[in-house]
Amino acid sequence: MALSEHEQRLLDEMERGFYQSEADVLQAGSSEPRRLNYRSLVLGIIVVILGIGVLVAGVAVQLLWLGLIGFAVMLGGVILMLSRRSSGPLTVEDITSAGSGPKAPRSRESLSERMERRWDQRMEGER
């Protein structure tokens, strides 16, 4: 069944909007390349090696609590290795807000809610 001229124009407009929004999403996702933080990586490796040493010492002297501490230190080293820290310098606000007490929990949006909100913002911007 053939589309009328009005329906064809609407379909073309919808396709253009879809391709344009798809390009926006692809650009937003690749705006900042992920880089390794070598300082965290090296420090994490050192902490893991230290944890292995404590774990082996705990096994050698047959102290369970020392082995558990060694395992916890190793786990902390792995977490430190995998963490990505912000590359920007610390500001005065960062330092003062760090010790200001508990913060209100942020509301977490699901992926579908974020995508829907971004879509609505794009559509409102085109009007």
Q: Do the Cβ atoms of 53 and 70 come closer than 8 Å?
A: yes
Distance CA 40, CA 13 (A): 49
- Please report whether residue 20 resides in a domain: no
- Please report whether residue 66 resides in a domain: yes
Tokens 């001229």 correspond to what residue? Answer: 5
- Please report whether residue 99 resides in a domain: no
Q: How many domains would you assign to the chain? A: 1
- Please report whether residue 74 resides in a domain: yes
pLDDT in tens, 80-119: 888 765 545 545 555 455 555 555 555 677 788 888 888 8
pLDDT in tens, 51-86: 999 999 999 998 899 999 999 999 999 988 887 655
Range of the domain at 74: 36-83
- Please report whether residue 93 resides in a domain: no
- Please report whether residue 109 resides in a domain: no
- Please report whether residue 112 resides in a domain: no
Give the pLDDT score at 70: 92
Q: Do the Cβ atoms of 77 and 44 come closer than 8 Å?
A: yes
- Please report whether residue 64 resides in a domain: yes
